Structure 1
Amino acid sequence: MSKKLYLMRHGETLFNQLKRVQGACDSPLTDLGKEQAKQARDYFIKEQVQLDAAYSSTQERACDTMEIICPDKPYIRKKGLKEWNFGLYEGAPEYLNPPHKAGEESYGAYFLDYGGESVDQVEQRMTDTLTQIMHDLKGENALAISSGGALYSFYLKWRQKRDQRPSFSNCCILIYEYQDGKFYLQTSIDPGK
Protein backbone atom coordinates (compact mmCIF):
# COMPACT_ATOMS: atom_id res chain seq x y z
CA MET A 1 0.00 0.00 0.00
CA SER A 2 1.29 3.42 -0.98
CA LYS A 3 1.38 6.12 1.71
CA LYS A 4 2.26 9.82 1.64
CA LEU A 5 4.78 11.63 3.80
CA TYR A 6 4.50 15.40 4.05
CA LEU A 7 8.01 16.30 5.21
CA MET A 8 8.22 19.92 6.23
CA ARG A 9 10.73 22.49 7.43
CA HIS A 10 9.91 24.74 10.39
CA GLY A 11 9.08 28.44 10.01
CA GLU A 12 11.70 31.19 10.05
CA THR A 13 13.54 31.56 13.37
CA LEU A 14 15.52 34.34 14.98
CA PHE A 15 18.78 32.56 14.05
CA ASN A 16 17.59 32.24 10.43
CA GLN A 17 16.92 35.98 10.43
CA LEU A 18 20.31 36.76 12.01
CA LYS A 19 22.13 34.37 9.61
CA ARG A 20 23.40 32.16 12.43
CA VAL A 21 24.21 28.44 12.19
CA GLN A 22 21.32 26.63 13.81
CA GLY A 23 21.48 22.89 14.16
CA ALA A 24 21.27 21.27 17.57
CA CYS A 25 20.83 24.69 19.21
CA ASP A 26 17.45 26.36 18.99
CA SER A 27 15.85 29.75 18.61
CA PRO A 28 12.22 30.90 18.54
CA LEU A 29 10.03 31.48 15.51
CA THR A 30 9.87 35.05 14.25
CA ASP A 31 6.58 36.73 13.37
CA LEU A 32 7.34 35.82 9.74
CA GLY A 33 7.95 32.20 10.80
CA LYS A 34 4.54 32.08 12.47
CA GLU A 35 2.94 33.53 9.35
CA GLN A 36 4.72 30.93 7.19
CA ALA A 37 3.31 28.18 9.41
CA LYS A 38 -0.20 29.65 8.99
CA GLN A 39 0.28 29.60 5.21
CA ALA A 40 1.29 25.93 5.41
CA ARG A 41 -1.78 25.23 7.54
CA ASP A 42 -3.92 26.97 4.90
CA TYR A 43 -2.35 24.77 2.21
CA PHE A 44 -3.39 21.57 4.04
CA ILE A 45 -6.91 22.95 4.55
CA LYS A 46 -7.28 24.11 0.92
CA GLU A 47 -6.01 20.79 -0.45
CA GLN A 48 -8.19 18.90 2.06
CA VAL A 49 -5.26 16.78 3.20
CA GLN A 50 -6.38 14.45 5.97
CA LEU A 51 -3.37 13.90 8.23
CA ASP A 52 -3.55 10.52 9.93
CA ALA A 53 -0.46 11.11 12.10
CA ALA A 54 1.79 14.05 12.96
CA TYR A 55 5.42 14.06 14.13
CA SER A 56 7.84 16.80 15.01
CA SER A 57 11.48 17.19 15.86
CA THR A 58 11.95 17.75 19.59
CA GLN A 59 13.24 21.24 18.83
CA GLU A 60 11.09 24.20 19.85
CA ARG A 61 11.01 25.70 16.36
CA ALA A 62 9.53 22.51 14.87
CA CYS A 63 7.04 21.97 17.72
CA ASP A 64 5.83 25.58 17.52
CA THR A 65 5.38 25.23 13.75
CA MET A 66 3.40 22.00 14.27
CA GLU A 67 1.15 23.62 16.88
CA ILE A 68 0.23 26.38 14.43
CA ILE A 69 -0.46 23.93 11.58
CA CYS A 70 -2.38 21.37 13.67
CA PRO A 71 -3.57 23.26 16.77
CA ASP A 72 -6.04 20.57 17.85
CA LYS A 73 -4.18 17.46 16.72
CA PRO A 74 -1.91 15.51 19.04
CA TYR A 75 1.57 14.90 17.66
CA ILE A 76 4.61 12.86 18.64
CA ARG A 77 8.04 14.39 19.15
CA LYS A 78 10.96 12.42 17.66
CA LYS A 79 14.63 13.10 18.33
CA GLY A 80 15.45 11.40 15.04
CA LEU A 81 13.91 14.39 13.21
CA LYS A 82 16.28 16.93 14.79
CA GLU A 83 18.45 19.18 12.66
CA TRP A 84 22.00 18.27 11.68
CA ASN A 85 24.34 18.86 14.65
CA PHE A 86 27.06 21.30 13.55
CA GLY A 87 29.17 20.92 16.70
CA LEU A 88 31.35 23.93 17.55
CA TYR A 89 29.84 25.83 14.61
CA GLU A 90 26.49 26.05 16.43
CA GLY A 91 25.41 29.67 16.82
CA ALA A 92 28.30 30.97 14.70
CA PRO A 93 27.69 33.37 11.78
CA GLU A 94 26.71 31.42 8.65
CA TYR A 95 29.61 32.86 6.65
CA LEU A 96 31.91 30.62 8.73
CA ASN A 97 30.34 27.49 7.22
CA PRO A 98 32.96 25.73 5.10
CA PRO A 99 32.52 25.63 1.33
CA HIS A 100 31.62 22.26 -0.15
CA LYS A 101 34.59 20.34 -1.52
CA ALA A 102 34.76 20.07 -5.30
CA GLY A 103 32.28 17.49 -6.54
CA GLU A 104 30.42 17.24 -3.21
CA GLU A 105 26.88 18.41 -2.54
CA SER A 106 27.07 18.64 1.23
CA TYR A 107 29.48 19.19 4.08
CA GLY A 108 30.18 15.45 4.16
CA ALA A 109 32.02 14.50 7.34
CA TYR A 110 33.43 18.01 7.97
CA PHE A 111 31.61 18.65 11.27
CA LEU A 112 32.74 15.37 12.87
CA ASP A 113 36.07 17.02 13.75
CA TYR A 114 34.12 19.73 15.62
CA GLY A 115 31.78 17.52 17.66
CA GLY A 116 28.98 17.44 15.09
CA GLU A 117 27.47 14.92 12.70
CA SER A 118 28.31 13.80 9.16
CA VAL A 119 25.82 13.91 6.33
CA ASP A 120 25.75 10.08 6.39
CA GLN A 121 24.77 10.07 10.06
CA VAL A 122 21.96 12.57 9.45
CA GLU A 123 20.73 10.63 6.39
CA GLN A 124 20.64 7.40 8.38
CA ARG A 125 18.95 8.94 11.43
CA MET A 126 16.27 10.59 9.29
CA THR A 127 15.74 7.46 7.19
CA ASP A 128 15.43 5.21 10.25
CA THR A 129 12.96 7.57 11.94
CA LEU A 130 10.81 8.26 8.87
CA THR A 131 10.76 4.60 7.83
CA GLN A 132 9.49 3.65 11.28
CA ILE A 133 6.88 6.42 11.14
CA MET A 134 5.61 5.23 7.77
CA HIS A 135 5.72 1.57 8.75
CA ASP A 136 3.59 2.27 11.84
CA LEU A 137 1.21 4.65 10.04
CA LYS A 138 -2.41 3.60 10.27
CA GLY A 139 -3.87 5.48 7.36
CA GLU A 140 -2.43 7.16 4.30
CA ASN A 141 -0.88 10.53 5.25
CA ALA A 142 1.75 11.53 7.79
CA LEU A 143 3.18 14.98 8.52
CA ALA A 144 6.72 15.27 9.89
CA ILE A 145 8.37 18.61 10.72
CA SER A 146 12.14 18.89 10.82
CA SER A 147 14.81 21.37 9.66
CA GLY A 148 16.54 22.36 6.44
CA GLY A 149 19.83 20.46 6.76
CA ALA A 150 18.05 17.29 7.86
CA LEU A 151 15.56 17.57 4.97
CA TYR A 152 18.40 18.11 2.52
CA SER A 153 20.34 15.11 3.84
CA PHE A 154 17.24 12.94 3.52
CA TYR A 155 16.67 14.24 -0.02
CA LEU A 156 20.25 13.33 -1.01
CA LYS A 157 19.69 9.77 0.24
CA TRP A 158 16.44 9.18 -1.66
CA ARG A 159 16.57 11.36 -4.78
CA GLN A 160 16.09 9.87 -8.22
CA LYS A 161 17.77 11.10 -11.40
CA ARG A 162 14.48 12.56 -12.64
CA ASP A 163 13.91 14.60 -9.44
CA GLN A 164 14.14 18.36 -9.63
CA ARG A 165 15.94 19.82 -6.63
CA PRO A 166 13.25 21.20 -4.32
CA SER A 167 13.35 24.44 -2.40
CA PHE A 168 14.38 24.03 1.23
CA SER A 169 12.89 27.35 2.32
CA ASN A 170 11.18 27.82 5.67
CA CYS A 171 7.88 25.86 5.78
CA CYS A 172 8.56 24.12 2.48
CA ILE A 173 6.69 20.83 2.16
CA LEU A 174 8.32 17.88 0.41
CA ILE A 175 5.72 15.29 -0.54
CA TYR A 176 7.06 11.75 -0.71
CA GLU A 177 5.34 8.54 -1.70
CA TYR A 178 6.34 5.68 0.58
CA GLN A 179 6.08 2.21 -0.87
CA ASP A 180 7.86 -1.07 -0.14
CA GLY A 181 10.26 0.59 2.30
CA LYS A 182 11.35 3.31 -0.13
CA PHE A 183 10.69 7.05 -0.44
CA TYR A 184 9.95 8.72 -3.78
CA LEU A 185 9.78 12.51 -4.02
CA GLN A 186 6.54 13.46 -5.75
CA THR A 187 6.63 17.25 -5.53
CA SER A 188 7.53 20.15 -3.28
CA ILE A 189 5.36 23.02 -2.14
CA ASP A 190 6.42 26.46 -0.94
CA PRO A 191 3.20 27.77 0.65
CA GLY A 192 4.60 31.28 1.02
CA LYS A 193 5.05 31.75 -2.74
Structure 2
Amino acid sequence: MKKTIYLMRHGQTLFNKRRKVQGWCDSPLTELGIIQAGTAAKYFKENHIVFDHSYCSTSERASDTLEIVTDLPYTRLKGLKEWNFGTFEGESEDLNPPLPYGDFFVNYGGEEEKEFQRRMVNTVQKIVEEDNEVVLIVSHGAACRKFMQYWEHTSSIRQKERLGNCCILKFEYENKEFKLVEIINHDFSNLSEASPVLT
Protein backbone atom coordinates (compact mmCIF):
# COMPACT_ATOMS: atom_id res chain seq x y z
CA MET A 1 0.00 0.00 0.00
CA LYS A 2 1.29 3.44 -0.97
CA LYS A 3 1.64 5.93 1.90
CA THR A 4 2.26 9.69 1.86
CA ILE A 5 4.63 11.55 4.17
CA TYR A 6 4.88 15.32 4.46
CA LEU A 7 8.28 16.13 5.96
CA MET A 8 8.46 19.77 6.96
CA ARG A 9 11.02 22.14 8.47
CA HIS A 10 9.96 24.29 11.44
CA GLY A 11 9.23 28.02 11.21
CA GLN A 12 11.84 30.74 11.65
CA THR A 13 13.34 30.94 15.14
CA LEU A 14 15.20 33.61 17.06
CA PHE A 15 18.51 31.78 16.38
CA ASN A 16 17.70 31.54 12.66
CA LYS A 17 17.14 35.29 12.62
CA ARG A 18 20.35 35.97 14.53
CA ARG A 19 22.30 33.41 12.45
CA LYS A 20 23.19 31.18 15.38
CA VAL A 21 24.08 27.48 15.04
CA GLN A 22 21.00 25.59 16.21
CA GLY A 23 21.01 21.82 16.41
CA TRP A 24 20.13 20.24 19.74
CA CYS A 25 19.89 23.65 21.41
CA ASP A 26 16.61 25.47 20.93
CA SER A 27 15.11 28.93 20.56
CA PRO A 28 11.53 30.17 20.18
CA LEU A 29 9.69 30.84 16.95
CA THR A 30 9.73 34.48 15.84
CA GLU A 31 6.53 36.26 14.84
CA LEU A 32 7.54 35.56 11.24
CA GLY A 33 8.02 31.88 12.11
CA ILE A 34 4.47 31.75 13.49
CA ILE A 35 3.16 33.34 10.27
CA GLN A 36 5.14 30.82 8.18
CA ALA A 37 3.60 27.92 10.10
CA GLY A 38 0.17 29.48 9.54
CA THR A 39 0.89 29.60 5.79
CA ALA A 40 1.74 25.88 5.84
CA ALA A 41 -1.49 25.19 7.74
CA LYS A 42 -3.42 27.08 5.06
CA TYR A 43 -1.72 25.05 2.32
CA PHE A 44 -2.79 21.74 3.86
CA LYS A 45 -6.31 23.00 4.48
CA GLU A 46 -6.80 24.39 0.96
CA ASN A 47 -5.52 21.14 -0.56
CA HIS A 48 -7.82 19.04 1.65
CA ILE A 49 -4.88 17.11 3.11
CA VAL A 50 -5.94 15.19 6.22
CA PHE A 51 -3.34 13.46 8.39
CA ASP A 52 -3.75 10.13 10.15
CA HIS A 53 -1.10 11.13 12.66
CA SER A 54 1.58 13.77 13.19
CA TYR A 55 5.09 13.61 14.62
CA CYS A 56 7.84 16.07 15.47
CA SER A 57 11.22 16.23 17.12
CA THR A 58 11.51 16.91 20.84
CA SER A 59 12.67 20.47 20.14
CA GLU A 60 10.05 23.09 20.99
CA ARG A 61 10.52 24.93 17.70
CA ALA A 62 9.24 21.80 15.96
CA SER A 63 6.31 21.10 18.29
CA ASP A 64 5.29 24.78 18.33
CA THR A 65 5.25 24.76 14.51
CA LEU A 66 3.23 21.53 14.41
CA GLU A 67 0.63 22.89 16.86
CA ILE A 68 -0.02 25.81 14.48
CA VAL A 69 -0.29 23.51 11.45
CA THR A 70 -2.70 20.97 12.97
CA ASP A 71 -4.68 20.40 16.15
CA LEU A 72 -4.19 16.63 15.89
CA PRO A 73 -2.60 14.83 18.84
CA TYR A 74 1.07 14.23 18.01
CA THR A 75 4.09 12.21 19.07
CA ARG A 76 7.49 13.75 19.85
CA LEU A 77 10.50 11.62 18.91
CA LYS A 78 14.18 12.23 19.70
CA GLY A 79 15.11 10.50 16.45
CA LEU A 80 13.70 13.48 14.51
CA LYS A 81 16.02 16.00 16.21
CA GLU A 82 18.46 18.16 14.29
CA TRP A 83 22.17 17.34 13.88
CA ASN A 84 24.09 17.67 17.15
CA PHE A 85 26.74 20.34 16.47
CA GLY A 86 28.58 19.88 19.79
CA THR A 87 30.28 22.96 21.20
CA PHE A 88 29.32 24.94 18.07
CA GLU A 89 25.74 25.04 19.39
CA GLY A 90 24.61 28.64 19.90
CA GLU A 91 27.69 30.09 18.18
CA SER A 92 27.65 32.26 15.06
CA GLU A 93 26.96 30.47 11.77
CA ASP A 94 30.06 32.27 10.46
CA LEU A 95 32.13 29.65 12.32
CA ASN A 96 30.65 26.75 10.32
CA PRO A 97 33.03 24.98 7.92
CA PRO A 98 32.15 24.92 4.20
CA LEU A 99 29.65 22.28 3.04
CA PRO A 100 29.65 19.31 3.11
CA TYR A 101 30.30 19.20 6.87
CA GLY A 102 31.18 15.51 6.95
CA ASP A 103 32.39 14.52 10.43
CA PHE A 104 33.76 17.98 11.30
CA PHE A 105 31.59 18.34 14.42
CA VAL A 106 32.65 14.99 15.93
CA ASN A 107 35.86 16.63 17.19
CA TYR A 108 33.69 19.12 19.08
CA GLY A 109 31.28 16.65 20.70
CA GLY A 110 28.82 16.49 17.81
CA GLU A 111 27.39 13.66 15.72
CA GLU A 112 28.93 11.81 12.81
CA GLU A 113 27.20 12.68 9.55
CA LYS A 114 26.25 9.08 8.64
CA GLU A 115 25.13 8.33 12.21
CA PHE A 116 22.88 11.41 12.14
CA GLN A 117 21.47 10.48 8.73
CA ARG A 118 20.86 6.86 9.80
CA ARG A 119 19.03 8.06 12.93
CA MET A 120 16.70 10.22 10.84
CA VAL A 121 16.07 7.56 8.16
CA ASN A 122 15.40 4.80 10.70
CA THR A 123 12.99 7.00 12.69
CA VAL A 124 10.93 7.98 9.63
CA GLN A 125 10.90 4.34 8.47
CA LYS A 126 9.45 3.25 11.82
CA ILE A 127 6.80 5.99 11.62
CA VAL A 128 5.49 4.83 8.25
CA GLU A 129 5.42 1.22 9.36
CA GLU A 130 2.81 2.22 11.93
CA ASP A 131 -0.84 2.13 10.87
CA ASN A 132 -0.63 5.46 9.05
CA GLU A 133 -1.43 6.36 5.45
CA VAL A 134 -0.92 10.15 5.47
CA VAL A 135 1.62 11.52 7.95
CA LEU A 136 2.95 14.96 8.90
CA ILE A 137 6.48 15.11 10.33
CA VAL A 138 7.94 18.43 11.52
CA SER A 139 11.71 18.33 11.81
CA HIS A 140 14.74 20.47 10.94
CA GLY A 141 16.72 21.77 7.97
CA ALA A 142 19.72 19.44 7.99
CA ALA A 143 17.58 16.50 9.16
CA CYS A 144 15.20 16.96 6.20
CA ARG A 145 18.15 17.44 3.84
CA LYS A 146 19.92 14.24 4.98
CA PHE A 147 16.71 12.23 4.65
CA MET A 148 16.18 13.66 1.16
CA GLN A 149 19.78 12.86 0.15
CA TYR A 150 19.47 9.27 1.39
CA TRP A 151 16.59 8.68 -1.05
CA GLU A 152 18.02 10.61 -4.03
CA HIS A 153 18.44 7.36 -5.97
CA THR A 154 14.65 6.79 -5.99
CA SER A 155 13.63 10.40 -6.68
CA SER A 156 13.63 12.44 -9.87
CA ILE A 157 13.31 15.85 -8.21
CA ARG A 158 15.68 17.57 -5.82
CA GLN A 159 16.57 20.97 -4.42
CA LYS A 160 20.17 22.10 -4.05
CA GLU A 161 19.29 25.40 -2.41
CA ARG A 162 18.87 25.58 1.35
CA LEU A 163 15.56 24.25 2.62
CA GLY A 164 13.68 27.30 3.85
CA ASN A 165 11.59 27.54 7.01
CA CYS A 166 8.33 25.57 6.66
CA CYS A 167 9.48 24.03 3.36
CA ILE A 168 7.46 20.81 2.83
CA LEU A 169 8.89 17.68 1.22
CA LYS A 170 6.21 15.28 -0.02
CA PHE A 171 7.33 11.65 -0.14
CA GLU A 172 5.51 8.55 -1.27
CA TYR A 173 6.37 5.28 0.47
CA GLU A 174 5.90 1.90 -1.17
CA ASN A 175 7.78 -1.43 -1.05
CA LYS A 176 10.00 -0.10 1.76
CA GLU A 177 11.25 2.81 -0.36
CA PHE A 178 10.64 6.55 -0.18
CA LYS A 179 10.31 8.69 -3.29
CA LEU A 180 10.34 12.49 -3.22
CA VAL A 181 7.44 13.58 -5.43
CA GLU A 182 7.03 17.29 -4.63
CA ILE A 183 8.78 20.18 -2.90
CA ILE A 184 6.45 22.88 -1.58
CA ASN A 185 8.34 26.13 -1.08
CA HIS A 186 6.11 28.95 0.12
CA ASP A 187 6.95 32.49 -0.97
CA PHE A 188 7.50 34.46 2.22
CA SER A 189 9.18 37.42 0.50
CA ASN A 190 6.17 39.70 1.07
CA LEU A 191 5.73 38.69 4.70
CA SER A 192 6.95 40.67 7.66
CA GLU A 193 6.57 40.21 11.39
CA ALA A 194 3.73 42.73 11.23
CA SER A 195 1.68 40.52 8.90
CA PRO A 196 -1.42 38.86 10.33
CA VAL A 197 -1.16 35.20 11.29
CA LEU A 198 -2.78 33.03 8.65
CA THR A 199 -5.02 30.24 9.93
- What TM-score do you get using the length of structure 2 for normalisation? 0.90
Name the residue aligned to 1:63. Answer: 63
CA distance in 2, matches of 1:87, 1:2: 38
| 1:153 and 2:153 matched | no
CA distance in 1, matches of 2:172, 2:69: 21
2:165 counterpart (155, 160, 170): 170
Whether the 8 Å CA contact 2:156–2:180 is kept in 1: the answer is: no
Name the residue aligned to 1:35. Answer: 35
Query: Displacement, 1:182?
Result: 1.1
Percent identity, please.
Answer: 47
1:1-193 equivalent positions in 2, closer than 5 A: 1-70=1-70, 72-100=71-99, 106-138=100-132, 140-160=133-153, 162-165=156-159, 168-193=163-188
Whether the 8 Å CA contact 1:57–1:145 is kept in 2: the answer is: yes
1:30-56 residue CA offsets vs partner (Å, 9 max, x unmatched):
000000000000000000001011001
Q: Per the alignment, in what secondary structure is the counterpart of residue 28 of structure 1?
A: coil
CA distance in 1, matches of 2:91, 2:29: 18
Q: Per the alignment, in what secondary structure is the counterpart of residue 143 of structure 2?
A: helix
Q: Per the alignment, in what secondary structure is the counterpart of residue 98 of structure 1?
A: coil
Name the residue aligned to 2:193. Answer: none
CA distance in 2, matches of 1:118, 1:184: 25
> Which consecutive unaligned segments of at least 5 residues does structure 1 have?
101-105
Query: Displacement, 1:141?
Result: 0.5
Query: Displacement, 1:165?
Result: 1.5
- What TM-score do you get using the length of structure 1 for normalisation? 0.93
> Which consecutive unaligned segments of at least 5 residues does structure 2 have?
189-199
Q: Per the alignment, in what secondary structure is the counterpart of residue 136 of structure 1?
A: coil
Amino acid at match of 2:43: Y
Structure 1 residue runs of 4 or more that deviate by more than 6 Å after TM superposition: none
Whether the 8 Å CA contact 1:53–1:137 is kept in 2: the answer is: no
CA distance in 2, matches of 1:51, 1:143: 6
Name the residue aligned to 1:103. Answer: none
CA distance in 1, matches of 2:187, 2:42: 10
Name the residue aligned to 2:192. Answer: none
